[in-house]
Amino acid sequence: MLTYELGKKRGRPLYEQLYAAIKNDICLGKLQAWEKLPSKRDLARHLSVSVVTVENAYGQLVAEGYISAKAKRGYYVLPGDRIAPPQPPPASLPKPCQAKSDFLDLRSNSLSENDFPFSVWSKLMRKTMADYGKQVLQSTPAQGIEALRQSIAAHLYQFRGMEVHYDDIVVGAGAEYLYNLLIQLLGRHHCFGVENPGYPKIGQIYRANDVAYANLPMDEAGLSLQHLRRSPADVIHISPSHHYPTGIVMPGRRRQELLAWASEQPGRYIIEDDYDSEFRFCDKPIAAMISNDRQERVIYVNTFSKTISPAMRISYMILPPHLSRSFKQKLSFYSCTVPSLEQYTLAKFIQEGYFEQHINRMKNKYQSKRDAIIAAIRESDLHTQADILEQNAGLHFLLRIHTDKSDRELVRRAEEAGLLIACLSQYVHGNAEKYAHHIVVNYSSLDFDQIKPAVDKLAAVIRA
């Protein structure tokens, strides 16, 4: 069993310490090639840390090629030339994707393992292997397998009223990968406009690709048209169905104004990120902007991360016909980054009605969670200290807090109390004063029995 001394070190999370210790043993030859590492649970128990700590350390080692993960068998040290002990991990080492398991988490949305349809998925995988045989071992075309793209097109027509051709759909391993493809497809001469406040990873992707981008302010209807017209942006990246993190649902008039802006000059485009649009709890789903696009200016992007599982890493985009033709000419040399087996399985999952059933079940569950946490807030001391905003769609809402405490202090005090929260101001580039004292409440990862304790902790933090 691996034994290391792990402790609280300023700026060094436990998972980084464990990652560095194992990497050091591999480089020094203390851990030999193909030697099996302890299971995550056994090592976590032995070192008195959380399973998440071990999982993140192992994940970083896998990403760097020091170990490999074999399904249902464990983790093994990979062979390689180990010349010298490793250097300390860089300051940019990714933060763990999940907090300590004993914390109550209102900061992130994740899917409980009890909500994933394991039995159905495993049955369909076996059926896929039987039906497609050698096809699942072959590399796939850049746009993804035809069966999955046809299933997606049929689903969008039946449940969103979107008439799209499957040949204009491109499948990829996560929305981030698709954004990188779009930069190559549209060209690096464009300036991309991103929502401010907004999901920070969008700007990071454009910055990493060394393309120009502009942070565009929001108003009560979504992306500000006034600021857009004064900016150099000719491609805008928006989430009109349910903006993260403000929760704004863009009204029809603003959508038409943005479509008109895009049609005024050649080379202008709108990237419509249809983030968690499946989970709307009041009224009917709002039509996607691509459905009203007559000038071939809208690029539609969606993902199965929120509807099925973030670990699945299957997303897709719908290109206007002229961009679809350009994609085939310029980028068809790529192989699709999603394994064939997963694509065929997802196609069956949609075709045989399981996806619709899963969405309906999760929508009911999330609505119950939303109702439960709103009820808990109204029954607690928070009902006189906070206002609930934008709660009718998606998997988060805003809580406007009446307090003199700074957002930084609220986040710090909450963490000290065992509660993870994020404030709207943390998603703002530049002056965030306008958005102070708004907590972004993500509730999908909470179990029902965690809702009241989380609300009670938050109320105590604000009272303190």
Tell me the range of 272-286, 312-326, 382-396 where mean pLDDT is highest: 312-326
Tell me the whole-structure pTM to 2 decimals: 0.76
> What are 37's two structure tokens?
């590492």
**Residues found in the chain:** 464
- Cα 220 to Cα 105, 243, 246, 394: the distances in Å are 28, 11, 10, 17
Residue 367 in this model has a pLDDT that exceeds 80: yes
pLDDT per residue as tens digits for the range 135-159: 888 888 999 999 999 999 999 998 8
Tell me the range of 56-65, 168-177, 374-383, 445-454 where mean pLDDT is highest: 168-177
Instruction: Please report the pLDDT score of residue 252 as a whole number.
Output: 93
Instruction: Please report the pLDDT score of residue 95 as a whole number.
Output: 46
Which distant-in-sequence residues (6+ apart) come within 8 Å of 73 by Cβ?
Answer: none
Burial of 258 per CB tally in 10 Å (0-12, 13-18, 19+): buried
3-state SS of the chain: helix, strand, coil percent to 5? Answer: 45, 15, 40
Please state the rounded mean pLDDT for residues 207-217.
95
Residue 390 in this model has a pLDDT that exceeds 80: no
Number of other CB atoms surrounding residue 383 within 10 Å: 13
Instruction: Please report the pLDDT score of residue 101 as a whole number.
Output: 52
Average pLDDT, the chain: 88
Say whether domain 14-95 belongs to CATH 1.10.10.10: yes
Please state the rounded mean pLDDT for residues 308-317.
86
Residue 81 in this model has a pLDDT that exceeds 50: yes
Instruction: Please report the pLDDT score of residue 49 as a whole number.
Output: 87
**Of 66-70, 96-100, 161-165, 443-447, which gets the smallest average pLDDT?**
96-100
Could you state, in order of their start, the residue ranges of all structural domains in the chain? 14-95, 105-113+357-463, 119-355
Query: Contact at 8 Å (CB) between 27 and 72?
Result: no
Residue 11 in this model has a pLDDT that exceeds 80: no
Please state the rounded mean pLDDT for residues 37-58.
89
- The CATH homologous superfamily for domain 105-113+357-463 is Aspartate Aminotransferase, domain 1 (3.90.1150.10)
pLDDT band at 71 (very low <50, low <70, confident <90, very high): confident
CA atoms within 13 A on the CB side of 312: 24
Buried b (16+ CB within 10 A) or exposed e, 341-354: ebbbbbbbbbbeeb
Query: Contact at 8 Å (CB) between 249 and 393?
Result: yes
Say whether domain 119-355 belongs to CATH 3.40.50.1820: no
Nearest-angstrom CA–CA distance, 403 and 387:
12
Best CA proximity match to 377, nearest among 393, 397, 394, 363: 397
pLDDT band at 214 (very low <50, low <70, confident <90, very high): very high
Q: Looking at this protein, which amino acid is placed at residue 77?
A: V
> What are 393's two structure tokens?
């769609």
**Of 76-80, 137-141, 244-248, 296-300, which gets the smallest average pLDDT?**
76-80
Please state the rounded mean pLDDT for residues 387-400.
82
Instruction: Please report the pLDDT score of residue 399 as a whole number.
Output: 93
Instruction: Please report the pLDDT score of residue 98 as a whole number.
Output: 42
Instruction: Please report the pLDDT score of residue 393 as a whole number.
Output: 63
Tell me the range of 39-48, 109-118, 225-234 where mean pLDDT is highest: 225-234
Fold equal for 105-113+357-463 and 119-355: no
CA 269 to mean position of chain CA atoms: 23
**Of 114-128, 157-171, 249-263, which gets the smallest average pLDDT?**
114-128
